[in-house]
Structure 1
């Protein structure tokens, strides 16, 4: 299963909330993966214009306020797609079969509708909500 979306949320939250300059190694330690994987996700986020870095200096910055970065933007950046495709339709259905002949057209409207709802929901959520959830959970678990 692809985890780039959740790793990107982790990275962006850390960049947003950290007072320190974060290297890919520091991010990797927090995420629990290797720095090479972090650099791959960071490259996707940079290509999408969500984060910036300065040449010759370590660390990253959000390119805009966390309140303005939608979860859909992050998802699309990490998956390198222009829309969500959750469901793949099997190939080679038997066109001589009454079900096989029409099943794709029967499924597509349902799949498209579900994917559109997910896109709308992610478009209406921002990185700010992830950060707010993090602080709410962290405050509940403190002794």
Structure 2
């Protein structure tokens, strides 16, 4: 299972909300992974223009405000293909079988519709929504 998207959300939230500069090791400790994986995700975020860093300084900055950063653009920054493909259809169905011959055409429109709805939903949500949810979680745990 690919977790780069959720790790990217974790990293971006920490960068946004931390008062101090965070190293890849500090981010890795929070995420619960190794710093080389964090550096890979950070490289993807930098390539997408979502964060920046300065040579010789520890830490990262968001390139725009959390309310301007959609979850869809964050998702795309972590993926090789700029299209949501959650439900790939299996290949090599038996063309001599009535189901095998037509299953791809039968399920593909349904999958495409669901993936399109997810893209719309992610486009309407921002990093600020994630941060707001984080603070709601913190508040609930205190009560």
Normalised-by-shorter TM-score class: over 0.9
Uncovered stretches (5+) of structure 2, i.e. residues with no partner = none
Taking the TM superposition and a 5 Å limit, the aligned residue runs for 1:1-143 are 1-142=1-142
**TM-score normalised by length of structure 2:** 0.96
Helix, strand or coil at the partner of 1:138: helix
Q: Deviations over 1:24-74 (max 9, x none)?
A: 011011111111110011011111111111111111000100001111111
Q: What is the alpha-carbon distance in structure 1 between the residues aligned to residue 112 and residue 103 of structure 2?
A: 14
Q: What is the alpha-carbon distance in structure 2 between the residues aligned to residue 133 and residue 101 of structure 1?
A: 46
Q: What is the alpha-carbon distance in structure 2 between the residues aligned to residue 73 and residue 139 of structure 1?
A: 28
**TM-score normalised by length of structure 1:** 0.96
CA-CA distance at 1:136 after TM superposition: 1.1
Which moves more between the two structures, 9-18 or 74-83? 74-83
CA-CA distance at 1:141 after TM superposition: 1.6
Q: What is the alpha-carbon distance in structure 2 between the residues aligned to residue 60 and residue 69 of structure 1?
A: 16
Number of aligned residues: 143
Q: What is the alpha-carbon distance in structure 1 between the residues aligned to residue 13 and residue 116 of structure 2?
A: 26
CA-CA distance at 1:139 after TM superposition: 1.5
Runs of 4+ with >6 A deviation: none
Uncovered stretches (5+) of structure 1, i.e. residues with no partner = none
Helix, strand or coil at the partner of 1:100: helix
